[in-house]
Structures are given as structure tokens and as C-alpha cells.
Amino acid sequence: MTADPMTTTAPPGPPHKAVHAPSARVTGADGAMAAVTVVAVCAGTALLDGRLDPGGTLPLALQLGLLLLVRRRWPIAVLLLGVQAVIVFRSAGLTDVGWVWPVTAAYFTLAATDRPGQPGRPGLPWAIGIGLVELGFAAAWEASTGAAPRTVLASTGAEALWLALVLAVATAHRDRLRWRAEVDAGVLRAAREREAEALRRIAEARLQIARELHDVVAHTLTVVGVQLRVAGEALDDSPDEARAALATAQRVRKDAVNDLRSLIDVLRDPDDESGDGIGEGSGDGIRDRSGDGIGDSRGGFPAPRSPARLAPQAGLDDLEALVDRIRSTGLEVRLETSGELSRAPAPASLAAYRVVQESLTNTVRHAGAARATVRVLLTGGALHVHVVDDGNGTGTGTGDTDTQADREGGGHGVRGMRERVRALGGTFEAGPDHPRGGYAVRAELPVPGFRP
């Protein structure tokens, strides 16, 4: 009946965004990479003994750096313009070293944007294609200048190896970002599923508590109300009958208090020893000389017990006592049972008991019936419950404004019976018993593994 506590920790944030996410904003990382590219082109030219011409290398480095400021938004265009700038500067003789490595950042950015389902942004294939074209042009250009084949092969081979390394690192980075995004999405999905499961359990617990409270309170108030009316009418003419009615009311009240106490013990933390339950015997509560319920003068209810120590809930073994209580209201009830009811599992036994209890309670309260028949049969792997009366056929009365919801399609009692049965995979029907009149409730609960 209890629900797992729902954690209040906030779910993890959205998955990590990869560097390829298109954005119109220029970030600090973009500026840093642009500055590093400018310095790297100049430093690389100097380290390779190239011509460090302020009219050639520096403008090329600045152009390549400025292009990287928009690399996230237009990675293909940035790489194409960067490669074009390198080819133009090399062809014009403004710089004499480097083909691929000056545009390393552009190649890396484009290769890292390779995402499925992104039309027009193929990423890695584009980077590979542009790189092969650039390497082909570089080899042709080197050969056209009269360089030895060995020199051409060494130069373009080194550039090709550098390109392969850059693309491999970019691919690994892209895969890592994908993995992190998938992990974060899985964590977020798991957190949402746990939250949904916790909410579902809480909702189920609330429904179960509502059903238990309704069944216990409605039945108790109905029987006690009838007995008090009988006692009031017989007080002067038949004191013995009045005392018997009051004794029955007291016994029913005691049973209801025990049921409510068990329910509260289940809801309370087993480690809570504060003893603040119903009927706490602090000295200022309601005094109960019978010593069996609310305000017990000997200290009220005992300390909260763990669920393992709770008394078992009602079941089919208690049907006789239930029927006897209903008979004390003046309703003639015939109980028919068949099969080994004691072999029914506890959930099905409790649900069947509650169906009989609620059906008879509604008969007493609303149907104006004189007789009712209860049949409970355990056979064929199912527990069958059938309750029928000879009342007005509504099962919920016709003139009591408090039962308007019942008359409009089943109030809390009928709805509770239906929920109990369906929660166990059974079927439930309730309605007028045509053509004989009266009202009938039928329920069938599966009993897995039962063999008659």
C-alpha cells in the first residue's frame, strides 16, 4: 500500500552540445582558435624556412583566422574559402610553404560536424573530398614548378598524412561527443522514467488508500447507523434488543478502528516511535472504557508496528462474520460458497471480500431490499463473486441526494470495486438484474496456478 518516496533531485541537464551545433554567435573558443591559427601559420612558415612576407603570409594568416570566427555556422564554406585562399596565395607566389596544415582548424571543424539526418551538412565526406582535391592540386602544382618527383612525393605525402591525422582526431572527437550525448540522454530518460514510476506508484497508493478508507468507513457507518436506529426505537419497549443492537454497533466500530489502525501503521514510518496515531493516550483524548479503540485509558493504540507485524487484512475467511453483521441490520442474506476458498491468494481474497462488503452495504443503504444472495465460487482458475438483491434495481437508491454520483454511473463504491478487480486482471459488472429486478454485482478474479 505504501509508495516509494519520490526523489526531489533535479534531473540531469540537456545532453552536451557538440562543437558542430550551428550558431550565429561567435564564442570565445572561436576567437581563440582564430588567434591560434594566425600565430600558427606565421610560426609554421618560419619553422619550414618559408618566405615570411608581410604582404603574403600575414594576410593569408589573417584571412584564415577571420574565417574561423564563423566556422560553426558555415563549416563547409569556411573550409572552401580557406583552401581557396591557400591555393591563390601559393599560386601567386605570395607564400611558398603549406597546403593542408594552414587550414587545419577548418578541416577539423567540418569533419566533426558529420551527423546523420543533417541534409546539406555531410561533414566528414566533404572534408575528405576537399582534402583530396587540394592534395591533387598541390601535387600538380609542385610538379609544374619543375620539382623532382621525390620532392613532390615527400611534400604531398607529408600533407596527406597530416590531413589523415586531423580527420582521425576530428572523427574521434565527434564520436566522443555523440557518446556523451547518448549517455546524457539515457540518464535523463532514466530519471524521467523513475519519476514517472514514482508518480504512478503514488497514484496507485492513493487510490488503494481511498478504496480502503471508503470500504471501511462506509460499511461501518451503515451498520452502526442501522443498529443505533434499532436501539433508539427499542429502547423503551425492548431494552434487551436495544442493548444487543448497541453491542453489535460497538463490535463493528471496534473492527473498523482496528482496520484503520492497521492502515495508519502501514502508512507510518516503521521507525517512527512518536505514537501520534489515532486515539493517542496522552490524557486529553477521548476516554474509551472498553479499552479497545479510540482514546484507550491504558494508553491508546500501541506503538507503531512494522508492516511485518500487522494483523492480516480481511479475506474470504471473514465472510461469515461480515454476513452476520449485515443480517443484524434486518436484511436477509444467504451465503453460498463453493471450492477451497482458503487457497485463494491474499490479494484476490481481499478484493472478493471488499466486493461483497461494498455490495451488501449499498444494498442496505440504498436498495430497499429484503433479501440478498451472495455466491462465492473458486473453480477453473478463477474466483467468482456474485451478489444480487431484490431491491429497487438501482443498487444506489433513488432519493438520497448524497448518492447522485452513484446514480449517474457508479460512485466511489462501485468505482472502487471495479478498480480492485481490474487491478488484478479480472472482470467486473454491476447493474440492474433483469428481468427479475433487483441489483446484481458480478466479479471474476483470476487465480493463477489454482487447480481444483
Q: Is the pLDDT of residue 311 over 70?
A: no
Spell out the domains of the chain, with CATH numbers in brackets.
28-191 (no CATH), 312-452 (3.30.565.10)
* Among the listed residues 296, 264, 274, 301, the one whose alpha carbon sits nearest the alpha carbon of residue 283: 296
Mean pLDDT score across all residues of the chain: 76
Least confidently predicted of 37-46, 185-194, 217-226, 349-358:
217-226
Q: Is the pLDDT of residue 136 over 90?
A: yes
Which three three-digit cell numbers place residue 84? Answer: 581557396
What lies within 8 Å, CB to CB, of 326 at 6+ separation is: 223, 333, 360, 361, 364, 372
- Residue 314 burial class via C-beta count within 10 angstroms: exposed 0-12, middle 13-18, buried 19 and up: buried
DSSP string for residues in 291-306: SSSTTBTTTSSPSP--
| Confidence band for 309, pLDDT divided at 50, 70 and 90 | very low
Q: Is the pLDDT of residue 376 over 90?
A: yes
What is the reported pLDDT for 178? 86
Structure-model confidence comparison of residues 17 and 315, the more confident one? 315
| Confidence band for 339, pLDDT divided at 50, 70 and 90 | confident
Distance CA 392, CA 370 (A): 10
- Rounded mean pLDDT of 96-121? 79
Cβ atoms of 297 and 291 closer than 8 Å:
yes
Distance CA 147, CA 96 (A): 13
In this predicted model, what pLDDT tens digit does every residue of 109-132 receive, in sequence order? Answer: 999 886 555 555 668 899 999 999
Find residue 62's DSSP bridge partners: none
* Among the listed residues 406, 360, 71, 29, the one whose alpha carbon sits nearest the alpha carbon of residue 222: 360
Distance CA 387, CA 409 (A): 18
Q: Which amino acid is at 204?
A: E
Distance CA 123, CA 180 (A): 19
